[in-house]
Amino acid sequence: MSIRQIKGAAASGSAMASGVPPGARPDAIIIGAGFGGIGMAVALRKAGFECLILEKQHDVGGVWRDNTYPGAACDVPSHLYSFSFEPNPNWSRVFATQAEIHQYLRHCARQYGLLPSIRFGAEVAQACYDEHQARWTVSLTDGQVLQARFLITATGQLSRPVYPKLDGMAQFEGRAFHSACWDHDHDLRGRRVAVIGTGASAIQFVPAIADKVDTLTVFQRSAAYILPRPDRPYAAWRKRLFAAMPWTMALHRARIYTQYEARALGFSHVKALMDVLGRWPFMAMLRRQVPDPGLRARLLPDYPIGCKRILLSSEYLATMARPHVHVVADGIRRITARGIETADGRHHEADVIVYGTGFAATEFLAPMKITGREGRDLNEAWRSGAQAYLGITVPGFPNFFMLYGPNTNLGHNSIVYMLESQIAHVLRCLEKARAAGGDAIEVGEGPHSRFNAAVQRRLAGTVWQGCKSWYVDANGHNSTNWPGFTFTYRYLTRYASLGVYSFKAPITAPGQA
């Protein structure tokens, strides 16, 4: 099915177009059709559960659909950043581009027959749990109301772009946009382009647009540690080998996994390793690619390595050294009609401003409102910081599961590996409920509290402790990263006892028998 056909099916808006007959109630509603939503739907269907995926856009793919900026690619090798149940022998490169990953997710949706079970253009406004029926009622922004026994969110942590709060932003007379909403209709050739932000997106699109623009001014609030990205095309013979002998592809994936998993030692166990694994290679590349000492000083981070996300690029530092590229480390005072004024009083003329300022990673599930048992509001429950048992379940919210929830992000390995662990755990819960005849699944307060206290204790000994970054919310609470090995997390999700959950029948409402 082509993207045009997908959009056409979504535009019809009928229940039949979504694969759900009028009045029918699926076992589970999944919010989001990225890696998490697709993987969860495949697992549910294999286990005999009916599901409906709600996707606010008109195509699958999540962040790999939305982020189409020049140079967009993954910083985890392709063979690890893919489903274990759907290996792809035809990845073109070690680090796949955005378009190729998006096409892979489209392939998975078609391969497993998910398209009829996806309702496109369906944005969720709120979801409320009815403890008398043990069901979730999901309300869409267009007024439609749906019900299901289980609610599973797969909205990701990097789905809502964040803009800086700067005076005068509305006064700018040129073109301005966020990197996650790239304006491909606006030609950058010969333009004076200003980039605000130096995060994971900027280090990809800055080198990609540098050859086109007249001048490129990068406004840097904080320098980043950057390591070379050893990207290269896969040879045709190797792709044929992977296809003909899948076990060689499995070995290749295992090698990559082991190599990346070893980095957790530096992040959360032996922090001194971060100098060997990261700081020294960064310093060597900085000296090699940036000959000017003054520029090198501006590009040198003033925080311990690993405290903020380590980025991968073999071109960014060299791009910063080009004559028409300028790095401005002074704070921004305001945006003017014709450019950007910095704290030192200088005015930097610009025709285009690109905001590479990241995402609201710690604002989980916003702007949706999730209401659990006895009217409990999830945002209120998380007022002091988002937390969940295994990053998946929360007391007071029965039959509710999150994928890529609090403290399940990584600094060293593939989030797809984590998602598959979470999907397996959700399935264990649902199958246990089915076997036990219980309609309501809820994690206990005690296990939830003990688990999250242990997570925060472990985080206190990691490189992220005491660091201001997008990993940490406004309260200083690290609600983002997992403080350890991914295989430890997999063990917990797949093999730890389900005794932390209660499996109850629904409450009978007054007057009902």
Q: What is the pLDDT along the chain (513 residues), one digit of tens a residue?
A: 333 333 333 333 333 334 455 455 799 999 999 999 999 999 999 999 999 999 999 999 999 999 999 999 999 999 999 999 999 999 999 999 999 999 999 999 999 999 999 999 999 999 999 998 999 999 999 999 999 999 999 998 777 888 999 999 999 999 999 999 999 999 999 999 999 999 899 999 999 999 999 999 999 999 999 999 999 999 999 999 999 999 999 999 999 999 999 888 877 777 778 888 788 999 999 999 999 999 999 999 988 888 888 899 999 999 999 999 999 999 999 999 999 999 999 999 999 999 999 877 667 787 889 999 999 999 888 888 889 999 999 999 999 999 999 999 988 899 999 999 999 999 999 999 998 888 899 999 999 999 999 999 988 888 777 677 767 777 777 888 899 999 999 999 999 889 999 988 765 544 443
Q: How many distinct helices (H) and strands (E) make up the chain?
A: 16, 21
- This prediction has a pTM of 0.90
Distances (CA, A) of 361 to 2, 241, 252, 283, 460: 32, 39, 31, 29, 20
Residue 364 to residue 113: CA distance in whole angstroms: 29
Residue 256 to residue 456: CA distance in whole angstroms: 29
Q: Is the dihedral of CA 425, 428, 434, 439 positive or negative?
A: negative
Tell me the two tokens of residue 419: 């998602």
Contact 439, 132 (CB under 8 A): no
